[in-house]
Amino acid sequence: MVRSRDRSRRRLAYRRRPNEFYWLWIAATATYGVGDIVSTVAFLRYVPTIEEANPVVRFALESFGLSGLVALKIAVYLVMLWISVEGAREGDGLLYYFPPVLLTLTGTYLTASNVRLLWLA
């Protein structure tokens, strides 16, 4: 039996392994979304003498307050989710896995960094 190479007939990666897709994005949400936002808010609230180091985040905070931070995070998250879904549709493993893994690693680093700075302040 010969398998068809027609991509339209293959099941998408997130449909073949939905639990994997959900857990990748749950980890990204927990670290990048919740962890970094909560630790940034705590840091900015309890250590007001220190400013946000990221100029894009600082601009969002200064212009729109905490809602600017949340909106920026949601925008980045949705773009990365779109890239991951497109990667699944194209059968590209790198584009499928890279966005949630990158957000998870980035969120873990940023959360740990914020907590460390909060602890040292």
Which candidate, 72, 79, 69, 70, places its Cα nearest to that of 100? 79
Alpha helices by DSSP H, 3-92: 13-16, 18-28, 36-46, 55-64, 66-90
Task: Give the mean model confidence (pLDDT) for residues 23-39.
Answer: 95
Task: Give the mean model confidence (pLDDT) for residues 4-20.
Answer: 64
**pLDDT score at 50:** 80
pTM for the predicted model, two decimal places: 0.82
CA dihedral 49, 53, 59, 63 (to 10 degrees): -30
Q: Domain residue spans in the chain?
A: 14-47, 52-120
Structure tokens at 104: 């998870």
Structure tokens at 7: 């991509």
pLDDT in tens, 100-121: 999 999 999 999 999 998 898 7
Better-scored residue on pLDDT, 9 or 83: 83
